Amino acid sequence: MTNKYLIGIDVSTTASKALAIDEQGSVVSTKSYPHDLSTPRPLWSEQDPENWWSATSSALRDVIKEIPAEEIVAIGLTGQMHGLTPLDAAGRPLRPAILWNDQRSGAQCEEITEKVGAKHLYQVIGSILLAGFTAPKIRWLKQNEPDVYAQLGHVLLPKDYIRYRLSGAYVADVADASGFGLMDLSKRTWSDEMLAAFDIPREWLPELCESPDICAYVSKEAAAVTGLKAGTPIVGGAGDQPAGGVGNGIVAQGQASLTIGTSGVAYAVSAQYTPEPDGRLHTFCGPMPDTWMHMGVMLSAAGGLRWLHETFAPEMSYNAINQQVESVPRGAQGLLFAPYLTGERNPHPDPYARGAFVGLTLRHALPHFFRAVMEGVAFGMRDQLELLRALGVNPQEAVISGGAAKSPVWRQITTDIMGIPLYTVNTSEGGAFGAAILAAVGAGLYPDVPTACTQMVRKVEVFEPDPAGVAEYEELYPSYQALYPALKETFAALHAFEA
């Protein structure tokens, strides 16, 4: 009997990964190749799209050494969201892609927000307009690189550039395309009003599709480069966070996940389009038809611990760090950490926010700093959870994934601060696994995404909150919440001084 395999491709900021699963959801192969990152100026972040393609094609060739190409029944795509990949009319990149964490387009966001009106804008696009989004970057090109802008023929997101190289099709799924800032999310279509406000021609934008729908096929040219079979179906896929939600089994209202990787994301699904009243969450189209997703994002999560480790204790192992943190009492003896090392999105959309340690005394040493960072990141995730709760998403438990989930002490800190049980699932492949699940639905192996997740995603380990920890962190949380309002003007003054 012929086996049936699904491929999930993940074009992340750090690497391109190709993941193969069978129709029961067992991972049979995973290969990845790294990406280079360029930061030509402070707050800028760029990558070469050709690097994505070479890394992806290399990963696919490696996977196909382990499974027959003719047994791959569909491909799903995921990857970093928001990145502007500007192409000419022939599909050639005009400059490096401007990534999700690039902050150069703040002035363009302010300009469009004033033009459209803040409340009306986030009711249409599901969020406050942020510098990370795609459309402000296009306007930045117009105002700062007119020679590039004059040659524009197509604009794509990172994973959709890989779809284009695989198939020749200019397509984006509605979940990822929501982050352009150009869609009418209630209608799941491009918004004529937003296109007019940004002065962006419709013909530059990709066609839209739903995440599990087949929208392209592998071309003969791409088959020759990757080893895939020409004609293999490609489904819409989704951005890394909605695809990760699928990979974690978050497919019904009332479920939630907490991903604490380089950034931190709280994610939940809704059957209705209900934007957060003040635009402090992203409410985007979901990776299933007729669903939407709520997403709270903190820009620096586990990245904060990595910074502290690499800057002050690079010789120390993470196991040693965990042991040191366990020796420090809750609250790090009065030391708090504001985790805004790269600006912030939710609930404080401020590109000039900064990190801060507050409460330093002579008794504090490196272990206290490590604990304060873990607690500050967990409090930042609690901010996201509270925004979800205010919208009526009141999960009784949540999936935890990312780097923090691998640390027993950080996991317990997070569980106690959230005040609900957290659990892991049977795979840590996240977005790539979710993309492969979407491919399985597109290939007709399952009737819909929830059915596929029921079969493929399983709860593994549950972590219960410690009542004493819950009580102590409830007492400390208001002090954490007061940090940003107290420091906001200082952050702005420091930015002005540095500029």
| CATH classification of the domain holding 48 | 3.30.420.40
- Work out the pLDDT band at 429, boundaries 50, 70, 90: confident
- Residues 177 and 273 grouped into a single domain: no
- Residues 212 and 328 grouped into a single domain: no
Does residue 403 surpass a pLDDT of 90? no
Long-range contacts of 112-116 (CB under 8 A, 24+ apart): 112/136, 112/139, 112/197, 112/198, 115/197, 116/193, 116/194, 116/197
203 in any annotated domain:
yes
- Residues 284 and 145 grouped into a single domain: no
Distance CA(140)–CA(241), nearest Å, equals 25
- Residues 269 and 233 grouped into a single domain: no
Distance of CA 47 to the CA centre of its chain: 17
- Work out the pLDDT band at 442, boundaries 50, 70, 90: very high
Output the pLDDT for position 499: 77
Q: Using the 8-state DSSP alphabet, how is residue 393 labeled?
A: -
Domains in the chain, number: 2
460 in any annotated domain:
no
Instruction: Quote the tokens at residue 54.
Output: 């070479």
Output the pLDDT for position 342: 86
456 in any annotated domain:
no
- Residues 77 and 132 grouped into a single domain: yes
- Residues 236 and 253 grouped into a single domain: no
Nearest CA among 9, 239, 206 for reference residue 91:
206
Output the pLDDT for position 1: 60
* Domain end (from 216, 241, 266): 241
- Residues 491 and 474 grouped into a single domain: yes
- Residues 421 and 391 grouped into a single domain: yes
Does residue 302 surpass a pLDDT of 70? yes
Instruction: Quote the tokens at residue 25.
Output: 């959801």
Does residue 430 surpass a pLDDT of 90? no
Output the pLDDT for position 389: 93
For 486, the domain range is 249-429+466-499
Does residue 361 surpass a pLDDT of 90? yes
- Residues 15 and 121 grouped into a single domain: yes
- Work out the pLDDT band at 294, boundaries 50, 70, 90: very high
* Domain end (from 184, 212, 241): 241
Output the pLDDT for position 387: 93
Does residue 345 surpass a pLDDT of 80? yes
Residue with tokens 């401007």, as numbered in its chain: 98
- Residues 60 and 175 grouped into a single domain: yes
Which residues, in sequence order, are CB contacts of 439 under 8 Å at separation 6+? 6, 7, 8, 73, 74, 75, 76, 233, 235, 237
Q: Which residues are catalytic?
A: 240
213 in any annotated domain:
yes
Distance CA(242)–CA(437), nearest Å, equals 12
The average pLDDT across 304-309 equals: 95
Does residue 285 surpass a pLDDT of 80? yes
Q: pLDDT by residue (tens digit) across 261-283?
A: 888 999 999 999 999 888 889 99
* Domain end (from 241, 274, 308): 241
Q: Answer for the pair 427, 19: CB distance below 8 angstroms, yes or no.
A: no
pTM: 0.91
Output the pLDDT for position 165: 98
Does residue 73 surpass a pLDDT of 90? yes
Q: pLDDT by residue (tens digit) across 169-228?
A: 999 999 999 999 999 999 999 999 999 999 999 999 999 999 999 999 999 999 999 999
436 in any annotated domain:
no
459 in any annotated domain:
no
- Residues 423 and 360 grouped into a single domain: yes
378 in any annotated domain:
yes
- Work out the pLDDT band at 58, boundaries 50, 70, 90: very high
Output the pLDDT for position 101: 85
300 in any annotated domain:
yes
The average pLDDT across 293-298 equals: 93
- Residues 492 and 404 grouped into a single domain: yes
Distance CA(175)–CA(327), nearest Å, equals 43
